[in-house]
Amino acid sequence: MVEITDAERRVSEVVFGDRLGLAERFVTHLATTGIERGLLGPREVPKLWGRHVLNCAVVGELVSVNAHVADVGSGAGLPGLALAIARRDITVTLIEPLERRVQWLSEVISDLELSNVSVVRGRAEQVVESVNADVVTARAVSALSKLVQITIPLLHGQGEVLAIKGRSAGEELHTAAKKIRRLGGIDTSVVTAGAALLEDPTTVVRIVVEQTLAR
């Protein structure tokens, strides 16, 4: 059993509701087979709830109802699986190129019986033809200037990119601004998720994409 503080439990009850049991089982997977297979380092176990799962799950407040979310570079299912557990109304496609991670993700999805999640093996740029998302998420994948080139095309001209970032979010957004506009981004902002719940809210770069007739 992974330790969870009283504060983290209170937040988890709000974020996951009646699916908190699924979230707990997900965290158990992360702390056991996730560590064993090298998806996370052992030092991350005490931080699984606060720094990882809740940090990702609160991003669900930025996702519209019934959206199709594509999670690029899913790795250990963060944020994709956390979002799928927190938001039963959304459909999540996990995009991951490494076979061992795809296998682990598939096993977790099967064990948790998550009917709103699927896994696609491949790099984001390789699956553009088969994935058409309303929202694309990413966490700890690459610098924003590179990330936008592989995430925005998955929207096929309409939708949003939600990239979980740290303190460098504003700087990265400034650096990537021209590329974002060239790829169809019409509005960008640095927003926070979980401000009413977390002591340290999640920083997210939000990119709105809309294909105009002029393009």
- Residue 5 corresponds to which tokens in the numbers above? 């503080």
pTM above 0.85, yes or no: yes
Residue ranges of domains in the chain = 6-210
Give residue for tokens 């459909």. Answer: 91
The 10s digit of each residue's pLDDT in 139-181 is 988 899 999 999 999 999 999 999 999 889 999 999 999 999 9
**CATH topology classification for 6-210:** Rossmann fold (3.40.50)
- Tell me how far apart the terminal alpha carbons of the chain are, to the nearest angstrom: 53
Please enumerate in sequence order all residues whose Cβ is within 8 A of that of 144, keeping only pairs 6 or more positions apart, or say none. 163, 165, 169, 172, 173, 175, 176, 205
- Residue 139 corresponds to which tokens in the numbers above? 């966490």
- Reading the chain (215 residues) residue by residue, the pLDDT tens digits are 688 999 999 999 999 999 999 999 999 999 999 999 999 999 988 899 989 999 999 999 999 999 999 999 999 999 999 999 999 999 999 999 999 999 999 999 999 999 999 999 999 999 999 999 999 999 988 899 999 999 999 999 999 999 999 889 999 999 999 999 999 999 999 999 999 999 999 999 999 999 754 43
